[in-house]
Amino acid sequence: MDEGRQPLSRKLPISSSKISPYRLIIILRLVILGLFFHYRILHPVNDAYGLWLTSVICEIWFAVSWILDQFPKWYPIERETYLDRLSLRYLSLSPSHTNTLWLLLSGISASAFNFPVGMRKRGSHLSWRVWTYLLAQLIL
């Protein structure tokens, strides 16, 4: 196979002993969420019906958002990155073949490729100092 077209990573299996407790907690939270909505819908506040309805709609919106957030966590993927192939494909290009922005974004993607999923959700794993430095290098 051509060296430039080899896979950059491979999927690692996650043992069921690691993922089953998390799935059990998700199911438990869904049951509690269902009980909560059962109570909220069957016990409306008649004195402030509009406020009650608004709060129930917002709670349903947040619940749907949370449920959608759980889908990728139900079947997580752990990858092993082949850094030598990644650097061969993206980081060994000469400046005459690519512009600076593309090279900068490739480097950031390469550094973020093997980062834990939970950290990516919280925001960038690079500190504001690193971003400032990279943007300054791009501008200069």
Alpha carbon distance 55, 49 (integer Å)? 10
What are the structural domain ranges in the chain? 16-74, 93-139
pLDDT of residue 131: 60
Given a contact cutoff of 8 angstroms between Cβ atoms, the answer to whether 81 and 114 are in contact is yes
pLDDT of residue 47: 93
Q: For 14-53, b where at least 16 C-beta lie within 10 A, e where not — what string?
A: eeeeeeeeeeeeeeeeeeeeeeeeeeeeeeeeeeeeeebe
Tell me the mean pLDDT per 10 residues along the chain, length 140.
73 88 92 95 93 94 92 85 75 58 65 54 53 62
Q: State the DSSP string of the chain.
A: --GGGS-SEEEEP--HHHHHHHHHHHHHHHHHHHHHHHHHHHS--STTHHHHHHHHHHHHHHHHHHHHHHHHHHS--EEEE-HHHHIIIIIT--TTTS-HHHHHHHHHHHHHTTS-HHHHHHS-SS-HHHHHHHHHHHH-
pLDDT of residue 72: 84
pLDDT tens sequence across 51-87: 999 999 999 999 999 999 888 888 888 888 887 777 7
pLDDT of residue 106: 66
Supply the pTM of this predicted model.
0.54
